[in-house]
Structure formats: structure tokens, C-alpha cells
Structure 1
């Protein structure tokens, strides 16, 4: 006979599992909606604008993306961690993070304003960049998103994102039907940010919280920034790594080539919501498992690695053989080069999925300073490979460079650091390279 305590613990465990499962389901549902509706409308926009204008639009977004890490200040994961640890400091944490992010957003706008006036860019591209960058001001309100994450209440985030997606999609369709110019789509980016921030505020207030109770704590701000500075630096490098390919394609080839590459990447990266959603929802449970035992903590972590890597392979394998058909069906013949790019770029997902989980683990183990080393190595390799391959094989060269860089950063670089080798062995175990558990 099971003891009463055992039955209670089992019931609590099942209830805890269902709570996290429902939370993940809300996020997954919203992301699937985003993938279907967002991808459909995004493809319609790409077809409407054509490779050249779509390439210019993508270039402007990538250029702004280079500076986004400054706006976030590396606070996102740290804020979730701190809220999970101590909910009593909620108002101080949210208020302080909000003010810091707002300051970061204005710094980004100033940097971009001076940068676009220094580089040799035409007036339309400059305006595209400034309008898109203005969205960072309203993105400061996403601190509410991290509050919901820490409390396993992501259904509210899902509601806000879904509403914004539907409104944004309707506006884009209206613009297409009415033959709107390229600049109108840049204003939609800003509009989306405003609507989403209002959605966050609405749901935060709806569950009984008060924004007026937020406060700025100077000492807390200093502590948060002390923890986040490695993430700020690594975020800057990540931004360079994620966006530099389209910028280099524009400079080395032309805007139309950027459009071809961006079209393929849009399909390839459409799946990246999966590791983001699953880790954001399940990692609080993994963090709490560490309080019970190291064995349980790493057992759950390994299962998460296994799930992410094999889901990524399940996506990449069929897409490899269907890439040309998929691109032709979705974008039309004007994007004929995108199929070859997609065939290669889709495999970066295997390393991205694993890397998202590893990033959460490193943050929890306070190993985020190594992220900077990872990314400096990766961005250097990526720039060099892009420089060598783009002139030779065009946009396909950028896809090859991205895949090789992701593989190097995920598999090889951790082997040079004793504290990080565990991540290599866990990935190796996922790929069935080792048949027995690796002892740390």
C-alpha cells in the first residue's frame, strides 16, 4: 500500500506536470498560429514586393537587428530567473527592468540615427531603418511577458501575440490589396510593437496587478546589469552573427540576392519557435528539479535535449528533398534561387534547437560569460566564410557559412572548456554516439 504522503506527492507531481503541459500548449498553439498565418501573409508580402524590394526590407530589418542586443540589455533570461527565485520582488524587478530596457531602446535609436547618416545609404533605406528601429521603444513592455513566463501563465502572452498577429496580418493584406508602397510595411512593424505592448498591459492589469506599483531600484539595476553584461556583449555578437549574412549579401551582391536568401531563411527559421516555447515553459520545472537532486536535474535536461534535437532532424530531413517544390509553391518562380538555400539552411535548426536549451542551462549554472567566447568564435568564422563563399557560389555560400558556423559553435567549441564539455557529451548521447551515461 502506498503511504498517504506518497499519494499526495504523486498527485502534486501530476498536477505540476499538467500545469506546465497546459502552459506549453498555449504557447505552442500561438506559435503554430503565427507560423501558419504569419508565414502565409509574410510570403504574400514577399511575392507582392518582389525579390528586390523584399530584399531591401529584409536588409533594413537586419541592420536594425545588429543593435537589438543593446535594447534588451541581456535582461530577459535573468529577469525570469530572478522572478522564479523571489516573487516578493516582482514590482521592483519589473519596474527596474522596464526602465533599463527603455533607456537601452533610446540608445539604440541614437546609435542608428548617427550610423545611417555616416554610411552611404539612400534616403529610402535610411527611413526604413529608423521607422523599424522605433519599435524597440515599445518592446520595453515585454518585461510583462517574462513575468508570465516565471509564473507559468503564458496563455496571456499567447492571447496578446495572437491578437497582434491577426491585426497585423489584416493590415498587411489591406496594404497589398491597395497597392501600398514599401514604406507602409515598415510602419506596420512599429504598429505591431504598439499593439503587442498594449496587449501585455491589458492582461497584466486583468489578473489584478498594477503597473503603478512598479518601482526603480538603483541597487537592483546595478546587480542586474552586473549579471547581464556578458549577455549584452554576447547578444551584440549574436546579433552580428544572425544578421551579418544579409548585410554582406547586400554589399557583395545586391538587394535582389538578399530577397532570395531571406525568402529561404523565413521558411527555415519558421520552426525556431519550437525550442523557444518548450524551453521557456519547461525550464522553470528543470530549475526546481535541481533543488531536489542533481541527478533529477540532469535527467530532465537530457530528455529536453533529446526531444529538441530529434524534432529538428524530423523537420530538416523531409525539407531537404522538398525544398525546391516548397519554394516554388509558396513564392513562385521569381524566387528560384531560394530552394537551394533552404536545402542547406534548414539543417542549422538541429544546432539551434540544441543551443537554445544549452543557453538556458548555462544561464542557470551562471556560465553565461562563456557565451561571449562562443559567439566571438562563431561570428568570426561566419564573416570569414561569408567573405570567401558568397563571391564564389552566391547566396548558397551564405547558407553553407551559416551551417558550418552553427555546427562549430555547438559541437566543437565547448570541448575547449572543461565546464562546458558536459554539453558536448549530452548532445553526443542524444545522437546515440555513447551508449552509456557520461559521468561528470
Structure 2
């Protein structure tokens, strides 16, 4: 298999994606720590609250189309211009809807006018995110190196701007503008790389029938994405409302470190998704064997990350953020365990898409989000930011394991995930190796 052309193609594609994300992780982590130290817990918390509040609504702009578009581009490349053109216009309309909903949503908060200004500056970037349909095209062609180049130079550029902003002692408002600038730079980069490959966005066409088909297939994913975002972002919004912006800043510093690893399952799953689809065409046995191998791989990677972070959480926070953020150590040691369920949930999402079971995604993400809100309401007043971390961990377990187990159609996947968590395949291989050596 290692010498096959398919393996080499997917390995190279995944390597490009990992390179880009590792560089982005390293640079973004360094810069975010620098920014956090400069702004302090209060201002850093206010900035992250604004980003999280926008995040609750901006997910609507994706319309749940991302993986569906990639799937359709893989199936029929001749419809490229219609697929990309239709998706682009739908995303633009979704972005305008986000701005309208934000205008309504802020009426139910205790925000002052300055906080609302931060929110709308950041939200304007949603309009420019629509051009990321170009990213889907290159993913479908397993040519992620082109997108890697764009994202690499984008993160380098915006990181230099943030460092310069700290040097000139820029105000908090300017860092909100930089979030918008980052989206603009990325959109321009996507446009240029698409053009450099001999393609033109002017050839994109809108197809009403295709739009109806996309929305019909994606509506469960729209709501599931909303609920996923809710139990990823709602904690910071609720901490700000129940406690204060300083608590958000301390909590956000831990969450950034915890969630920094979430690119791993997304890259591996997205890059191997075409191979899984091909396996399904060949045989069910090969298809489920590859799925189990994917789950096993991600479970091992998650555990390798989680254990040392749990042990060294206080030391990590002090070294990176300083004594002002010392309370984030306990949060990090709790929140990092949610990553195990995130890793497996992302991988299982590919199975759900391949089996066209998106309707059930809506149900278990809704119940996961609901449990997170209820737990936050109960645990934040009692246990502060540590309670919010526990709420995230429990709600991830509910969404990825408990609810899918209750649903008959998705129960099989839960058994596969539990097998991965318990490292059953690895234990069986180890026993086999020991047996062969003895005999």
C-alpha cells in the first residue's frame, strides 16, 4: 500500500496540510501569547468574548455546505463552475443574514457600545470568508499545497501586523480590525491562487436547482454546525455575562491551547475522505476497516497530546502567559480531555456524510449543545471557569457517545469509537506480536 500511487498522493496532500497547520499553530500560538500578555486578562477577555459572540452567528454563513461541496466536486468535476458559483452566492447571502442576526442578538446582552463596535468590526470578515469555496475545489483535487501557500503567507502577514501593533502600543479596537484584515488578506490570496492555476471566478455560474439541492441536503448540517459552535463558543459568552471579561481572558488562554490541536482530526479526516469514499465503492469490509483505522489513529494521537498537557498544565500556563493567567492551568487540564471526543467526532462525521445520515447529526449536536448550556448555567456560578471547562467536557461526551448510542442507525459507529478509545485494536496487535515471538 505504501508504494501505491493513491497512498503517495494522499500522503503528500496530508503532509502539506500538516506543514501549514503546524506553522500556523506555532506562529499563532506565539503571537496570541504575546497579544494576551500585552492586553492583559481584561482586554484580552473582551476581545475573545467579541470573537466568540460573532462565532455563535457566523457559522450560519457556511450553510453546512463545506463537505457536501467537496463531495459533489469529487463526483462530477465537469460541474465545477456551477458548484462553486452557486456555493459562493449562497455563502454571501448567508453572511448578510449573519449581520442581521447579530444586530438582533446584541439587543439581548448587557454589552456597552464599545463592545458592540468590536463585534461588528469582527463580523464584517464573514463576507470575505465566502471566497473559501476555492479551498473546497483544491481539497477535492487533493491539491492542498496551493491553499497551504495562501494560508501560510496570510498568517505570517497578520502575525507581523499584530507584533507591530503591540510595538506601537495600539488600542484594543485595532486588534479587532486585524481580525477583519486577516479575512481580507486570505480572500485575496484565494483569488490569486485560483487565477494562477488558469482558472477564473468570472466563469462561476449560479444554478437555482443546484442551490435547492444543496440546501435540501445541508439543512441538518447547518443546524448541527450551529449547535457545535454553540458548545464551543457559548461558554465564553456565558462567562462574560455571569462573571466578567477578566474571567473570559483567563479561560480563553487555556481554551486556545486546548483547541489548538483540533486541526489534526480535520486535516487527517478531510484528506483521507476521498479514499474512504473510494473504499466504499470497492467493498463494505474495506470501507469499515479503513474507518476503524482512522478512528484508532486519531484516538492514539489525541491521547498522546492529552496526557502530557494534563500533567504539565500549570507549568505551561505560567511559562507562556505569566502569573496573571495562573487560574487557566486547571481549566486547561480539564478542557483538554474534550479533545478526545472532538477528534473522534470529526472522524465519525465523515462516515455520517458518506452514509447520508446528516439528519441524526442535527439531533445529537442539538442535545450536546443543550446539555452544555444547562451545565454552564449550573456550574459557572458554583465552580467559575473550571465549571465551564467541565461543562464542555461532559457535553462533548453526550454529543459524541451518549446520544449516537441511543439512535439505532448510528449505534454501530459508537461501538467503533469506544473500541478506539479503549485501544482494543492496539492491544490485539500487541498480543499477536507477543504470540508470534513466543512461537
Work out whether the TM-score is over 0.5.
yes
Counterpart of 2:437 in structure 1 is: none
Counterpart of 2:184 in structure 1 is: 194
Q: Is the 8 A contact 1:160 1:196 kept in 2?
A: yes
Counterpart of 1:249 in structure 2 is: 239
d(CA) in 2 for partners of 1:143 and 1:133?
19
Counterpart of 1:180 in structure 2 is: 170
Range with bigger deviation, 330-339 or 63-72: 63-72
d(CA) in 2 for partners of 1:118 and 1:268?
30
Counterpart of 2:436 in structure 1 is: none
Counterpart of 1:129 in structure 2 is: 119
2:52 to 48, 52, 62: 62
1:425 to partner: Cα distance: 1.1
d(CA) in 2 for partners of 1:185 and 1:302?
43
Counterpart of 2:341 in structure 1 is: 351
Counterpart of 1:24 in structure 2 is: 14
Q: Which runs of 5+ in 1 are unaligned?
A: 1-9
d(CA) in 2 for partners of 1:366 and 1:403?
27
1:222 to partner: Cα distance: 0.5
Counterpart of 1:378 in structure 2 is: 368
What are the Cα deviations for residues 295-353 of structure 1, in whole angstroms up to 9, with x where unaligned? 11111111110000110000000111100000000000000100010011111111000
1:119 to partner: Cα distance: 3.6
Secondary structure of 1:229's counterpart equals helix
1:205 to 184, 195, 213: 195
1:34 to 21, 24, 29: 24
Secondary structure of 2:254's counterpart equals helix
Counterpart of 2:81 in structure 1 is: 91
Counterpart of 1:140 in structure 2 is: 130
Counterpart of 1:44 in structure 2 is: 34
With over 3 angstroms needed to count, the CA separation of the structure-2 counterparts of 1:202 and 1:337, relative to structure 1, is: same
Counterpart of 1:5 in structure 2 is: none
Dislocated runs of 4+, deviation >3 Å: 117-120, 432-436
Counterpart of 1:4 in structure 2 is: none
1:156 to 146, 149, 172: 146
Q: Is the 8 A contact 1:84 1:151 kept in 2?
A: yes
Counterpart of 2:282 in structure 1 is: 292
1:117 to partner: Cα distance: 4.6
Counterpart of 2:301 in structure 1 is: 311
Q: Given the alignment of the two structures, is residue 394 of structure 1 paired with residue 391 of structure 2, yes or no?
A: no
With over 3 angstroms needed to count, the CA separation of the structure-2 counterparts of 1:427 and 1:119, relative to structure 1, is: closer
1:143 to partner: Cα distance: 0.3
Q: Is the 8 A contact 1:68 1:239 kept in 2?
A: no
2:323 to 333, 345, 352: 333
Counterpart of 1:6 in structure 2 is: none
Secondary structure of 1:16's counterpart equals helix
What are the Cα deviations for residues 206-229 of structure 1, in whole angstroms up to 9, with x where unaligned? 111121110000110000010011
1:113 to partner: Cα distance: 2.3
Q: Which runs of 5+ in 2 are unaligned?
A: 429-439
1:114 to partner: Cα distance: 3.3
Q: Is the 8 A contact 2:58 2:98 kept in 1?
A: yes
1:112 to partner: Cα distance: 1.2
2:63 to 62, 68, 73: 73
Range with bigger deviation, 263-272 or 400-409: 400-409
Tell me how large the CA RMSD over aligned residues is.
1.5
Q: Given the alignment of the two structures, is residue 409 of structure 1 paired with residue 409 of structure 2, yes or no?
A: no
Counterpart of 1:3 in structure 2 is: none
Q: Is the 8 A contact 1:56 1:258 kept in 2?
A: yes
1:389 to partner: Cα distance: 1.1
Range with bigger deviation, 13-22 or 330-339: 13-22
d(CA) in 2 for partners of 1:312 and 1:120?
38
- Please give the TM-score of this superposition, normalised by the length of structure 2: 0.95
- Please give the TM-score of this superposition, normalised by the length of structure 1: 0.95
